[in-house]
Structures are given as structure tokens and as C-alpha cells.
Amino acid sequence: MLTALAVAAGLALMAPSTVVPSGVSCSPNTTFCVIDVEQPGTPGDPGGGGSSLDPVIERRCVVSQTGQAVTCEGPLGWFNDADDCYWRLLEHQPPETDPIWGGRYPEGAIYAVSCAATRPGGSDGWVWSATEPPGYGGVGVTPAQLAQQAISRMELSGPAIRMTIDGDESGVVGVPLWLWTEVGPTTWGPNSATASVPGLSVTATAQARRIVWSMGDGRSETCAGPGTPYYAGGITSPTCQHIYEKASAGQPDGAYPVTATTTWDVTWSGGGASGSLSVTRQSTASVRIGEVQVLITQE
């Protein structure tokens, strides 16, 4: 009977897919989510960057499949962020001859695992594990939550917006406007940082993947790279550009608002766990676009 329960529990311990609302990035199989809040920057400069202050880290236990907050410890044991189940070390371990060991005795230990209380269709049983599951025996930070601190230390930002025209200059309808960002650890990457607490260290690495340029005229450009800086004599950008079809004279302040959003891919590892996620950062600027006036005279 115990062996059958163990097999059933083993099948049930496959972590469910995390379902989250739009705009929230969650690392698979963890309770770690990143919610991006736009902080507008000055024209042409990054905005929405990280703070030099580390966030307050505390453990929160949430069932990833339902979003329900649960106690991290209770009669059923300690909540495991990786599978949404409660784990409890058996006070009296089964004898060496019990099939649950699978020939691994005395390595690891047998745990009573309860998934029925937290996961629809989940089951309970016994499971062998070589190590304690994440978060077992304490309410301290988990590796996924510590990864959040490492990400904040990288101070990832939106693009350092650069365009063909600068300052009070105006572009021209129908002429390609080159778009790019200055490349650095905080504006394109790569970037990495490590966060630690006693007994646990997590390193995160970030690399920008794309920039979506919302040009203020109802259209946008998605560029897979940082773009190409303008060079004298250049006409068409080889990587990233936008062509305005109308002048900006009717816009507020006579300029189109430009918002550039960078998507960063982040991977992290430490404490026997690893994960990956995407975060976004934004910058804002504005651009004036005029029309070429042609004067025809007759002699």
C-alpha cells in the first residue's frame, strides 16, 4: 500500500504550469515573479532602472497553479515551492528492506508528501529524496527569491535612446530615422550579479534580447539587436529604423513621444536550484518631425 502511494505521489510531483496575469513574469516552478513598473526617464536617457537599495526579502508561499497564499509550515509539513506540496520527514524511517528506498538506503530520506490539500487532483504518499526540498525547515529566503535581489543589483535599465537627430533638431517625413541604444552592462548586457545570505548564494545573469520602439504615431518597430549608430553618409539603417509618414506638428508639444522597451532574458542558479525568466525595462524620449517645403518660382 505504501509503495503504491509513493508511486502515485511521485507522479503527482510534476510541477504544474504557472498561470499569471499579463505583465507579470514568473520563473517556472517557483514563487518568484517580477512585476515591471515604468519610471519615465528624461528624453534620450534610460528610465525604469533598478535601485541601489536591495528589496526586502521574505519568504511567501503561494500555490503556483491557483495563486492561493498558504502557510509555509503546518501539520502536513513544509511547503515546497518546486511542486506546490507539503513535505514532512518521517520521524521513523522505513526499514532498509522497504521498496520505497529503491536500493538507495541509507542515502537520503523518506518524506510524507501531501499534494491533495494544495493541488486539484493531487495525491498523498511517501517519496524518497536525496536532499531536503527547497524551503524545508525554515521561513528564510528560497533560491528563487534570492535571485530577485541579484537581479536588482544589476540595475538593468531601458535603452540609452539614440536617434539620427539630437536635441532640438527635427527629422523629416519619409526619411529613415535610425534607432539604437548605447551598449553597456545596464542597457544591453551581458550583466551578472550575486546575492547571498548565510548558507546560500545565487548568481543571476542577464542579456537583452530585443527592443520594441513605440514611435508615437501608432506604429512600432521591433529590433532584435541594440541597433546601429548613425554614421556620416548613411541613409538606411542596416538594423533598426522608423519612417514617419506625417509631421508631428499636431502632437502635444509638437513632438512624437517615443517609448523603447527592452526585454531582458535572465538565468539564475544557486542553492541546488536554477531558473530563467524575462523582465522588461523602458526609456522615453521625444522626436520632432517636419515636412520638406518646396518653393517653386516662375520666371
Distances (CA, A) of 24 to 27, 48, 278: 10, 16, 9
Helix, strand, coil percentages (3-state) for the chain, rounded to 5, are: 10, 35, 55
C-alpha cell at 237: 539603417
CA distance 142 to 202: 10
CA distance 290 to 46: 26
Per-residue pLDDT of the chain (299 residues; tens, 9 = 90+): 333 333 333 333 333 333 333 333 333 333 333 333 233 333 344 444 333 334 445 567 778 777 788 888 889 999 887 788 999 999 999 999 999 999 999 999 999 999 998 888 888 999 999 988 877 876 567 788 788 889 999 999 999 999 998 777 889 999 999 999 999 999 999 999 999 876 678 999 999 999 999 999 999 999 999 999 999 889 999 999 999 999 999 899 899 999 999 999 999 998 778 889 999 999 999 999 998 765 555 55
Model's pTM, two decimal places? Answer: 0.56
CA distance 35 to 8: 36
Q: Do 120 and 65 meet the contact criterion of CB atoms below 8 Å apart?
A: yes
The 10 Å CB-count burial string (b at 16+, else e) for 35-57 is eeeebebebbbbbbbbeeeeeeb
Q: Do 186 and 155 meet the contact criterion of CB atoms below 8 Å apart?
A: yes
Phi then psi for residue 94, to 5 deg, are: -60, 155
C-alpha cell at 115: 499534494
Phi then psi for residue 80, to 5 deg, are: -105, 115
Q: Do 258 and 216 meet the contact criterion of CB atoms below 8 Å apart?
A: yes
Rg (CA), the chain: 27
Q: What is the pLDDT of residues 40-82, one digit of tens each?
A: 333 344 444 333 334 445 567 778 777 788 888 889 999 887 7
Ranges of each domain in the chain: 61-129, 143-290
CATH entry, 143-290, from 2.60.120.1440, 2.60.40.10, 2.40.110.10, 3.20.20.70: 2.60.40.10
